[in-house]
Structure 1
Amino acid sequence: MTLLSTAQHIARDTRRDPRSHMVLIMVSVMIAAGAVALVAYLLWPTWVARPASAPQRLPVSVGATLFNVPTAAIRRKIQRHSGPQERVDLNFIFPSLEPPDAPKHVSADTIEEKVQPIDRIFISISAHHDSLAPDMRVRTIYPRYLEQAATPLDGGLTMRGFREGSPYANEDLFSATTPNLNARCTRDGLTPGMCLSERRVDGADLTFRFPRSWLSQWRDVANAMDRLTAQMREPRG
């Protein structure tokens, strides 16, 4: 009301003094600018856009077989998407089986970390394209190259070495039935020995890799592979 009265007063003065019409124009502009500013203030959004966080698990299809994998466990950034993939590489902390934290970058100050014991179990899920199944390889291919003698180890685990000159020279095959385990392991040398254990799930093969030294707790390792396989096959929650 005060602004209206002022405008009316200026209009009367304009009739007396024609030069005062400039004052009226300036006041009108000020009133319009104030109104626009008030409307803009009232309508301006108060929310702040935030980037969407990555989902904890991703549904991926490998060999037409569905897996729900923890996003943080995927080793390669290019594989961190849902949908069909030819291969997915994962790693989990052992024995907790939790996805690892952010990868550590090696520098001159942290170079010593490279020789620390491995605390992860690595998994590769790949389409098998009807290749020979892992259990068939254990039953039909490996026996051709194994030594005859078998060495019994802790609680039902046995070891048979591969013959020198065979495709698997400098490796040993470890087997057990309860829980089930078949692992082909390199022998310790300049680098610690590593084990490879495979299993087939519908159209995909799962390849587990872990240090040979873990065979001292082989039951825990076998159960961990079973648990990880079951968890990745569970429906997405």
Structure 2
Amino acid sequence: MTLLSTAQHLARDTRSDPRSHMMLIMAAVSIAAGAVALVAYLLWPTWVARPAGGPDRLPVSVGATLFNVPTSAIRRKIQRHSGPQERVDLNFLFPSLDAPEAPKHVSADTIEDKAQPIDRIFVSISAHHDALAPDMRLRTIYPRYLDQAATPINDGLTLRAFRDGSPYANEDLFVATTPTFHARCTRDGLTPGMCLTERRVDGADLTFRFPRSWLSQWRDVAVAMDRLTAQMRGARG
């Protein structure tokens, strides 16, 4: 009713004063613009559009064994899908065990001359197809190629070197009993030594790789491997 009265009033003024014709047009435009602004304000969505992305975790089956793995931890794009797979390769930051961010582009202008320290633990999950279990290899295969001498290292960790000429030449075996821990490590040379340790979970073998220098905190590494195994086996969704 207010808008109708205003229009009628302006119409009367227009007949008496021709200049009011322009005022009438301007008033109508202002009223229409205000109405449009009010409707737009009331109908404007309150949600914020976000780019679509994949799930945080993926259920994968390796060796008929279910694992829930962080999507961003998977190292190879071709493996970033749910369902049965023969092998999945992952990496996690240490000691946080968070999935790393996507790697940045490196060019000749940005790369540094010195090698960057490895700050992550690598995990491969693969179907074992009834191959010899890691604990059996530790008890029955490795002792055939080890030197007899055992050297205490630190905090309950013991070193035994593999003999020269053996399949594991230039490697050492590190073993502890409390907690149970073992790792086969290459020796430092032109490149820093790396360690691997394996464990079996139903139809899959988990292979963990980390720098040999981390053996100074081997208990933390052992806990990290236990945590990662539990998270990938226990997380759902």
The two structures have a TM-score, normalised by structure 1, of: 0.78
In structure 1, what is the Cα distance between the partners aligned to 2:116 and 2:51?
36
Report the equivalent of 2:228.
Answer: 228
Within the alignment, does 1:167 sit opposite 2:167 as a pair?
yes
Shift of 1:103: 1.1
Q: Which runs of at least 4 in structure 1 moved beyond 2 Å after TM superposition?
A: 46-52
CA–CA separation in structure 2 for the residues paired with 1:70 and 1:212: 25
Provide the C-alpha distance between the structure 1 equivalents of 2:92 and 2:113, rounded to a whole number of angstroms: 18
Deviation at 1:89, TM superposition (A): 0.2
Letter aligned with residue 56 of structure 1 = D
- Mapping for residues 72-151 of structure 1, pairs under 5 Å: 72-112=72-112, 115-151=115-151
Matched, 1:205 2:205: yes
Residues 69-114 of structure 1: per-residue CA shift (max 9 Å, x gap): 0001000011000000000000000000000011123211232176
SS at match of 1:144: helix
Alpha-carbon separation, structure 1, partners of 2:106 and 2:53: 27
Is 1:58 equivalent to 2:58 in the alignment? yes
d(CA) in 2 for partners of 1:217 and 1:182?
A: 13
**Aligned equivalent of 2:36:** none
1:151-162 residue pairs with structure 2 within 5 A?
A: 151-162=151-162
AA aligned opposite 1:200: R
Question: What TM-score do the two structures reach when normalised by structure 2?
Answer: 0.78
Distance between the aligned counterparts of 1:194 and 1:220, measured in 2? 16
* Structure 2 CA distance for aligned equivalents of residues 235 and 123 of structure 1: 17
Residue in 2 that maps onto 1:190: 190
> Structure 1: which 5+ runs fail to align?
1-45
Amino acid at match of 2:139: R
Q: Which runs of 5+ in 2 are unaligned?
A: 1-44
For residues 113 and 87 of structure 1, the distance between their equivalents in structure 2, rounded to whole angstroms, comes to 34
Cα pair distance change 1:114/1:67, threshold 3 Å: farther
Q: What is the one-letter code of the residue matched to 2:91?
A: N
CA distance in 1, matches of 2:212, 2:94: 14
Partner of 1:217 in structure 2?
Answer: 217
TM-fit CA distance, 1:226: 0.5
Moved more, 215-224 or 105-114: 105-114
Letter in 2 for 1:104: K
How far the C-alpha of 1:65 sits from its partner, in A, is 0.2
Shift of 1:204: 0.1
Task: Give the whole-Å Cα distance in 1 for the aligned partners of 2:57 and 2:66.
Answer: 12
Structure 2 residue identity aligned to 1:77? K
Task: Output the CA distance in 2 between the equivalents of 1:108 and 1:77.
Answer: 25
- Aligned residue for 1:112, secondary structure, equals coil
Counterpart residue type for residue 74 of structure 1 = I
Alignment partner of 1:231: what SS?
A: helix
